[in-house]
Amino acid sequence: MAALHACGLKILAKTEETPNLPAADLTRLVNAATRCFDTFANTVSALQNLRTGRKQRIVVQHIHVNDGGQAAVVGQIDKGGTR
């Protein structure tokens, strides 16, 4: 994962080092860097899914408070699966 991120940064650095690149070459370099960063993001997402057991839990609670009333909402957050 670190290599993908570093590769994307190196490719973007090439675009800054040579300011007079033709538009086609600049586009190719930026697209290559984008693919590196996209693959990095997908890998991070896959790793997170493996660590959390691929479970997602959403709890929706509706609370009604009348005029002049006060409400305290207290809940517990479940962090997911085991590592």
> Closest Cα partner for 82 from 40, 43, 54, 60?
54
Q: Tell me the average pLDDT across 9-34.
A: 93
Q: Angle 23-52/2-17 helices, nearest 10 degrees?
A: 160
Per residue in 34-55, pLDDT (tens digit) is 999 999 999 999 998 888 877 7
In tens, the pLDDT along 54-73 reads 777 777 877 788 888 777 76
Say whether pLDDT at 81 is over 60: no
Reading the block at residue 32, the tokens are 């290559």
**Residue 71 to residue 82: CA distance in whole angstroms:** 34
CB 71 within 8 A of CB 65: yes
pLDDT higher than threshold 80 for residue 19: yes
Could you tell me if 27 and 6 are in contact, meaning their C-beta atoms sit under 8 angstroms apart? no
Query: If you average pLDDT over every residue of the chain, what do you get?
Result: 85
> Would you say the pTM of this structure is higher than 0.75?
no
